[in-house]
Amino acid sequence: MRTSEKTRVTKETNITVSLCLDGGKVEVSTGIGFFDHMLTAFAVHGGFGLKISAKGDLEVDGHHTVEDVGIVLGDAFGEALGDKSDIARYGSFYIPMDEALAFAAVDISGRPFLCFSGAFSQTTCGAYDLCLTEEFFRAFAMHAGITLHLKLEYGQNAHHEAEALYKAAAHALREAVSYQKGILSTKSIL
């Protein structure tokens, strides 16, 4: 099983992530309800077992919590992949969510990069600042060592827009981590 457990403790946050790329139970608690909903959707649609316990300085705002969860989840994802052998490496997916449409493409390359494009129709969903979506995915991509392109094509409801992005990323990652014998690289290493 491709698994990892990571913990990060700072003056701003205390986060533990347990990840299994091959499925399992999903339990998410960050103190930000909408973010919990997005991470749960991410795990379910990615086919990942995921447990996240996060306590952060939410009296300030959600930034440190969201970004640090991205860091820890990215670290766990990278570790669970090991040497990146026997994976498809690439994945891409469109998700329609009512009036919203989002696209994700991923390369599990060892070369971290995020390209994020899209504007949300509103600024918040509950206590979640939608601008933190890009911060989460940047932290995740950098720490997982992946190239990730995310594009919100269009939408009118910010809940649907954000959820489409999280689900598109999850499906693209699910495809990229699927089993394929060998290392998909002309260099024979990722």
Closest CA to 51 of 14, 5, 78, 18: 18
**The CATH classification of domain 3-176, taken from the options 3.30.230.40, 3.90.76.10, 3.20.20.370, 1.10.3720.10:** 3.30.230.40
Global pTM reads 0.96
Query: Which is more confidently placed, 133 or 182?
Result: 133
Inter-helix orientation angle 158-176/132-144, to 10° = 10
**pLDDT tens-place string over residues 121-178:** 999 999 999 999 999 999 999 999 999 999 999 999 999 999 999 999 999 999 999 9
Q: What share of the chain has pLDDT > 90, as a percent?
A: 93
Phi, psi of 90 (to 5 degrees): -105, 150
Q: What is the pLDDT of residue 72?
A: 98
Q: What is the pLDDT of residue 46?
A: 98
pLDDT over threshold 80, residue 182: no
d(CA 63, CA 5): 22
**pLDDT tens-place string over residues 16-38:** 999 999 999 999 999 999 999 99
Strand partners, 116: 150
